[in-house]
Chain A
Amino acid sequence: MAKTPVKIDIRTSPYIRKAPTVSQIMRNVVYALLPLAAYSIYQFGISALVLMLATILSCLATEALFNKLADKKSTLTDFSAVITGLLLAMTLPPGFPLWMAAVAGFTAIAMGKTLFGGLGFNPFNPALVGRAFIQAAFPVSITTWTPALASNRFIEFIPSTLAVPFMKPAATAEWSTQVSIDGFTGATPLALMKFQGIFTDSSDLFLGLVAGSTGETSSLLILICGSYLIFKKMLDWRIPVAVIIGTLLTSEVFYLIDSSHYPSPAFMLFSGGLMFAAVFMASDMVASPVTPLGIFIFGCLIGFLTVIIRLFGGLTEAVMYAILFANAATPLIESYTQPRIYGARKTKS
């Protein structure tokens, strides 16, 4: 007689599963962000590197602290806090003071995530919650841009990086003109457009040869990194596509009305953090709808709001607010866009 099982473990079907784990998904998002991080270090030097480290460490420490307070099992290994930290750093100016970056990281995780119950329960993209907080708290520092490819970027920090907490950071305007290769204006393309009516060439924007936030400048690289995640089925392609459609359609309308006054759709698409936000921020799984139609509406809404805020609002940080608005609208969008099920009858019986 053959041996028989000594122990039978009873479960219910299905007995086989095949899915990447949550931490595998999150880790892959981190991998996809690494080339962007490397490019930003190439562009802005050691300041960008320490900025990213500051936000990541701050996010991890905050998550650990709240885990302890809530007496929860450590959730650091799911890598989601690393993503929040990395995403946050990418949206900050490269010379952003480190202590402010740490405050941003703390706010992102504390107010954006753990207070709602942690990963899976955050109604907003945590990184953007942190970003929105410091936008209000430190309006000067967050709009102080420094030039890319500064000559001494690998040996010297940008003066404002090492600001002492609660003290006014060192001014960077003079430093910027010293280190800049070709007459840096200190203004981002969006600021140029908004406040001076100058349109930057779209191809420069596409390749990232402009001033801007740490990781948002090269649309090309962002698209390549996003494609990796889409290929791995860890990023829903429908969200970036819908954001792009929403942006193009809305800006095209204005461009057709008056092309001398309003920027071209291509400029809208490749300037500011739009491409980065469309690929990596709007696609935050937890804070976006799950229904097919809802995903499309959500993305288009972000594109629409971004263009409207950029053209008529008083600030250039349009995408961030557009996404936060859309995040807030997610439950509403979902409730109106439940999918039509197979075999649904036309009239309710």
Chain B
Amino acid sequence: MNLLKFFGKKTFSHGIHPEEYKTETNTKATRRLPFAPEIIVPLAQSIGKPAKAIVYKGQHVTRGEMIAAADGFMSVPIHAPVTGTVITIDKLPVAKGGKAPAIAIKTSLDSGQIIVNSGIQQDYLQMSRQDLIKAVQNIGMVGLGGASFPTHVKMSIPEGCSIHTVLVNGCECEPFLTTDHRVMLEKIEVLLLGLRIAMKCVDAPKAIIGIENNKRDVLEAIKAYLPADQSITIEAIDTKYPQGAEKMLATALLDIEIPSRALPSEMGLAIFNVATLAQIGELLPKGQGLIERIITITGDDLEKAGNYLAPIGTPLQYILDYAGFTGEEAEVILGGPMMGIAAHSLDVPIVKGTGAILVLDSRATKRDDILPCIKCTQCLQACPIHLNPSEMGQLAAKRQYDVMETDYHLNDCFECGACSYVCPSNIPLVQYFRIAKTLNRERHLQNG
């Protein structure tokens, strides 16, 4: 790490350089995706408690109207992505697998789809921090980078911590994804407004926007809007996966190491994704709920790959049809190729945290024999957390999940998948680690 700094490289140590596959969509301006005839809105769209439905079957809802209310602090409300009629409130297929409670809405295609909002024009400069954070929760904001952590919770800095810098995550290190890239080109003003709101919420004097140096156009575009007082700056850092992980970003930009299992706030940092801030800047002043987001639709066998402003709840089947999928067999992934979730059904809808729909053909469906580990150390040299995936993989094969946790820091793994990516023996390392974590969690629950 010190050696990298010595050579003037802004990055973290280890990591991988996957092919980027971004040129297919990164120059395509965002277009609006039409409304699907039927929208499915899962009630659990963030980490924490699911929202509680406040509509009934057969009820007419207007686009932007709250249809599910937050259930406590660790929860966010959900607003209707379309004007239409509630068909059902039932368990429906969701991305994580299986079914979960969701509201299905039949879209009224002749309604004009005018958005309603709370009607309160909010001037963030006049609001107290508490009111601002409450307002962020009211618009149903969650982290749009993928983790879907409720944004207002992130903004509620624990007692005793003071934030010196807000880091804005514009790395978008996953291959294929260009959502954040487009946001940073097309929504600079609302992005900076959202950033100022976030800075006020966490009471930070300074902010740094971090982007990977494969997005030079963003650097120039944003610089023109930055304030002269240097309170907000932008920096290009090395293009490397997983640069967009919070810990890796903090290390690359400020050489700050976020301790194991600590929040960034412990080190005086608050980290937000660019798309999240742009949505806050756009929605909060109007008091409008989060009902749509930009997604990248890309991959193999698509006629209309591009970046789309899509209503939350749009089913995959509709998206594939619209994008002109021509293939025979595919893996449909919600998110990027490194950490995304493969859909088990095309009835699954996109949710607030879905940044992309990626369609992969044989690249993803090819299966290779798993061979014994030859201890080539490639995984150790890829792991951004400096774990020992080689040893952990062998422990997993022996089902020594507890040793993985106690002696090999299993819970520090954030499942970026770099180890599986580089393994010459095709060992599904990160997949083993997920299983190990799940089984450990269950065991701890049983043991009380």
Contact = CB atoms under 8 A, between A and B. Distances in A.
A117 B394 CA distance: 14
A166 interface: no
A120 B374 contact: yes
Contact of A22 (B247, B321, B422, B424): B424
Interface in B419-442: 420-426, 428, 430-431, 434
A236 to B, nearest CB: 6
Contacts of B18: 16, 18
Contacts, number: 186
Nearest to B412: A341
A341 B387 contact: yes
A118 interface: yes
B231 to A, nearest CB: 28
A242 to B, nearest CB: 13
A314 interface: no
Contact of B430 (A14, A18, A233): A14
Contact of A14 (B320, B376, B417): B417
Interface in B278-331: 303, 317, 320-321, 324-331
Interface stretch (A5-13, A144-152, A198-206): A5-13
Given A8-B343, A22-B425, A341-B260, A15 B387 contact: no
A18 B325 contact: no
Given A14-B421, A16-B364, A121-B372, A342 B257 contact: yes
Q: Identify which of A18, A19, A291 gathers the most chain B CB atoms within 10 Å of its CB.
A: A19
B386 A341 contact: yes
Measured as residues with beta carbon below 8 angstroms from the partner, the interface class of chain A is 35 or more
A197 interface: no
Given A14-B339, A25-B424, A339 B257 contact: no
Contact of B434 (A12, A18, A295, A339): A12
A1 B319 CA distance: 11
A8 B333 CA distance: 11
A2 B372 contact: no
Given A285-B376, A343-B259, A19 B422 contact: yes
Interface stretch (B76-84, B106-114, B193-201, B377-385): B377-385
Given A25-B376, A292-B380, A339 B19 contact: no
B324 A2 contact: yes
Interface string B365-398: 1001001111111101000111110110000000
A2 B388 contact: no
A260 interface: no
B103 to A, nearest CB: 25
Given A119-B372, A343-B257, A3 B325 contact: yes
A342 B412 contact: yes
B341 interface: yes
B430 A341 contact: no
Interface residues of B, number: 75
A8 B363 contact: no
A11 B366 CA distance: 10
B386 A339 contact: yes
Contacts of B412: 341-343
Interface in A110-153: 117-121
A342 B384 contact: yes
A343 B430 CA distance: 20
A249 interface: no
B92 interface: no
Interface string A228-239: 000001001000
Interface in A292-349: 292, 295, 334, 338-345
B34 to A, nearest CB: 14
A219 interface: no
Contacts of A25: 374, 376, 424
A334 B391 contact: yes
Interface string B325-355: 1111111110101111111111000000000
Contacts of B426: 17, 21
Nearest to B415: A13
A121 B422 CA distance: 20
B436 to A, nearest CB: 13
A334 B395 CA distance: 14
A162 interface: no
B386 A15 contact: no
Contacts of B125: none
A342 B386 contact: yes
A82 to B, nearest CB: 15
A285 B258 contact: no
Nearest to B328: A6
A12 B388 contact: no
B48 interface: no
Contacts of A119: 371-372, 374
B260 to A, nearest CB: 4
B325 A2 contact: yes
B325 A4 contact: yes
Given A5-B332, A12-B342, A290-B391, A18 B371 contact: no
Given A341-B386, A341-B412, A2 B364 contact: no
Interface in A77-133: 78, 117-121
A15 B345 CA distance: 17
Q: Identify which of A2, A119, A345 gathers the most chain B CB atoms within 10 Å of its CB.
A: A2
Contacts of A5: 320, 325, 327-330, 332, 346
A239 to B, nearest CB: 10
Q: Identify which of B325, B376, B420 gathers the most chain A CB atoms within 10 Å of its CB.
A: B376
Contacts of A121: 372
B321 A286 contact: no
A232 B374 CA distance: 17
Given A5-B328, A290-B391, A15 B342 contact: yes
Q: Identify which of B258, B343, B360, B374 gathers the most chain A CB atoms within 10 Å of its CB.
A: B374
B420 A8 contact: no
Contacts of A20: 424
23 contacts: A2-B320, A2-B321, A3-B327, A3-B328, A4-B320, A10-B344, A12-B342, A12-B428, A13-B339, A14-B430, A21-B368, A25-B376, A120-B371, A120-B373, A233-B378, A285-B375, A290-B377, A290-B388, A290-B391, A295-B377, A334-B391, A343-B259, A344-B260
Given A14-B337, A290-B377, A339-B388, 11 more contacts: A5-B329, A8-B344, A10-B331, A10-B344, A11-B365, A12-B431, A19-B422, A20-B424, A120-B372, A339-B380, A343-B257
Interface of A: 1-22, 24-25, 78, 117-121, 233, 236, 285-286, 288, 290-292, 295, 334, 338-345
> What are the 6 tightest A-B residue pairs by CB atom distance, in nearest-first order?
A120-B372, A14-B417, A15-B364, A343-B260, A342-B385, A16-B337
